[in-house]
Every structure is written in C-alpha cells, then in structure tokens.
Amino acid sequence: MAVTRGRSRTPRSPTKERSQSKSRAKSVAAVERPQKFGFRSILAIFGSGPMFILLTYTPWRAWMDGLLVFPDILISDTIACSPWHRSVYTTGISMAALSSCVIYSEFARALKQRIWDLPKIIKPPVTLEMAIDQFLFTVLCGVVPNLLILISFMFIEEVDESGNVALPDGEDLIQWILHVLAATLAFAGLGICAFLYAWHIGPMALELGIESKRDTYTRMVCACGIAITVMFGAPVRLLHIYWDREAMAFPLLMVEVIALGFGVAANVFGSAGMMMELDASHPKLLFRHLSLGNWWVTLIKPLVTFRPLELKKFKPL
C-alpha cells in the first residue's frame, strides 16, 4: 500500500507574522486624506498668525520709539509700555487663545476618532489616549486661561536710583503677582504640552498613520524647540531675578520669543494641514450659507411674512 507524503510546511515565525500584520494595518491606516481650505484652517492661520508680529516687530518698534528702556525689554514690559500696546497685545493674545481652543479641541477629537477607526489588528498603547487627554486639558485649563490672565494684569516694576527693583504697593502689587504667576504657569503648561507631544503623541501618530507626516514633523520640531527653550528658561529667569537683571535681560527675552514663537508656529504651520483635512471631510460651517440671500431667508423673510396667528401652533396643550 503506497503512502503519499504531503509537502512539509515550515512553521511561520510569530514575530514575523505580527510584523507583517502590523505593516498591512499601517498601510490601511496611512491613507492620503483630501484637504480643503475652510473655517478651521482660516482660524488656525489668521487667529494665531498675527502673534508673529507681536513677538518680533512690535517690541523692536517700541524700543526704537523709546518706550522700552534697557534692561526692561521683556514681552511683559512691551505690553505695559503704553495703552496702545496693551490693547494690541490683548487683542492678539485673545485671538491666539481662541484659535488654540478650537484647533486643539478638533485635533484631539480627530486623533481619537482615527484611533477608534483603526483596524482591530492594531492595538495602540493606552498611553496615547491618556497623553491626548492630558494635552487637551493642559491647553484648555492651563495655557489659555493663564494667557488671558497675564494680559489682564500688568507687569509693573519700579527701579530706584541705585538700579534695584522695588515691588509696587497695593493694587499694583496684586497685578504684579497675578501677572508673574500666570506667565509662569503658561510657560510651564506650554512645556508640558510640548513634552506630551514629542514623547507620546507625535511618534505614535506617525507610526499609526493617523496624522500626516508633514504635520507630525512640523509639530515635533516645534515641540522639541519649546521643551528645550522652557527647560533653559527656568534657570535664566532665576538668574534674572536673583543675580543680574542687565546681564540676563536679553537671554530671557530670547527665551520668551523663541518659546512663544514655536507655539505659534505649531498652531499655524503644524495644524493647518489637519484643519484642512477636517474641513474637507466634516466642514465646521459652509460659506455658501453665509451669503446675503441666505441671511434674507433666515432673518429678514420671516419678519416680513410674519403673521401673529401663526403663534397659535406653539401654544402648549
């Protein structure tokens, strides 16, 4: 009796099988998403973009006009140097705060939805969603409120004839304390957000394909820049207070400009791509609904054609 032998099968390596499955899943996840210039992207660019001017040209112009006197050259000194500058910075920082709320609320929601829509074969680490929630909480409850506080209360310091800084009295002292505390918490929150993105969100978003490579690279550069700058900013600030104000005035100014500049760049250049993706797939609003004809339909026409007898249909039973 003849015995037929089948072809022997070489067992597949579990590690190789998992890697192949993961690569197939990543190819499904990393799809090219269409983009469209809409309300979110407009808010990201024009809501935060003017801050570049307020961080560069405006302080330089105030210096050239004699409104700033060395070593009082910080952004806080520029805000308090005249009523005009206070109004300009209040408007600019408020717009940036508003756009940040919209940008990162949409950013967190979109990333979570894309994580949930991944194939079941991909299991992202639990720390990814944890980091996203912590990032959003820090932006909405840390950075943004403290930015609004620091522009509401002025940075007022007095210098005596010997060059020593004397704290103000009464209400001015309360303003000084609130401004310094809010600025410290705002920069600390900025550093926390940068660390969460650079260490957790950015690398995993790139690996899972839930964010475009261009946006991830831009945000990673900005996050690393913020983290490094804030890390150096703490000792620079302490030296500015307790050692030599004149020697550390310019380094501290550079810390403020660079850290805030990277933050604004993350809002504008690092977020515009995802905002355009969301505007293409789920528009925040449709601009055609804002035409004069549509305003006529929703506001003017009901008033013109209004009849008091129509109120009867709203009468409760």
Question: pLDDT digits over 212-224, tens only?
Answer: 888 899 999 999 9
Per-residue pLDDT tens digits for 25-57: 454 445 677 788 888 999 999 999 999 999 999
Instruction: Identify residue 90 by its one-letter amino acid code.
Output: T
Buried b (16+ CB within 10 A) or exposed e, 268-296: bbbbbbbbbbbbeeeeeeeeeeeeeeeee
Report the pLDDT value the prediction gives residue 314, as an integer from 0 to 100: 61
Per-residue pLDDT tens digits for 217-250: 999 999 999 999 999 988 998 888 788 888 888 9
Report which of 195, 249, 295 is spatially closest to residue 78, judged by C-alpha positions.
249
